[in-house]
Amino acid sequence: MSYTLDNIDIKILRELQKNGKITTKELAGRVGLSQSPVFERQRKMEQEGYISKYVAILNPEKTGNNIQVWCNIKLKKHAQEMGQDFMDKIIAFDEVVECYNTSGDYDFMVKILTHDMSEYQNFVLNKLGTIDSIGSLDSVFVLGVVKQTSAIPLRDID
């Protein structure tokens, strides 16, 4: 039987999205329960996959990743082996921080972080350029971030 979320669980998840390092004591105070049931609920949500992991979100510019690029990629043809070849290779590149298989004009949308334009050019020529399944790519450079969040929208349970 699968675990079903209630409104207390939703409150716990909202608080954890704001601060993954919150203590069980602080979390319990914010959701109106004692520590033990909050701990058990959180553990159950981890086991059931509602919470997949806890991470530190880094500032790309502070870590020297000043260039953010969304690269839209079209494969040479739509074939299982070409798509798999692309995915197998793209996940190995540290510069790629996100990759989505998409519909529309492009087959994949890839988020790439590099130090500067020269490093991006090197990435395109010497890494993306080695993937034979790529037919074309279109680079979109981010000029400024208006909104960026890792928080998933959560709705109260009726």
Residue 3: predicted pLDDT? 83
Residue 70: predicted pLDDT? 98
116 shares a domain with 73? yes
CA–CA gap between residue 32 and residue 18 (Å, rounded) = 17
Structural domain for 19, as ranges: 7-47
Angle subtended at Cα 45 by Cα 42 and Cα 50, rounded to the nearest 5 degrees: 130
Exposure of 13 by Cβ count < 10 A (0-12 exposed, 13-18 middle, 19+ buried)?
buried
Would you say residue 81 lies in a domain? yes
Count of domains for the chain? 2
Exposure of 114 by Cβ count < 10 A (0-12 exposed, 13-18 middle, 19+ buried)?
buried
- Mean pLDDT in runs of 10 for the chain (158 residues)? 90 97 97 97 96 94 96 92 93 98 96 98 97 96 95 91
CA–CA gap between residue 53 and residue 152 (Å, rounded) = 14
Would you say residue 116 lies in a domain? yes
Residue 15: predicted pLDDT? 97
Q: Are 68 and 140 in contact (CB under 8 A)?
A: no
CA–CA gap between residue 122 and residue 125 (Å, rounded) = 5
Q: What is the bridge-based pairing of β-strands 134-141 and 67-75?
A: antiparallel
Would you say residue 94 lies in a domain? yes
CA–CA gap between residue 74 and residue 151 (Å, rounded) = 29
Residue 1: predicted pLDDT? 64
Residue 53: predicted pLDDT? 95
Phi, psi of 100, rounded to the nearest 5 degrees: -125, 135
14 shares a domain with 74? no
Q: Residue 133 is which amino acid? A: S
- The token duo for 52 is 């997949």
The CATH number linked to 117 is 3.30.70.920
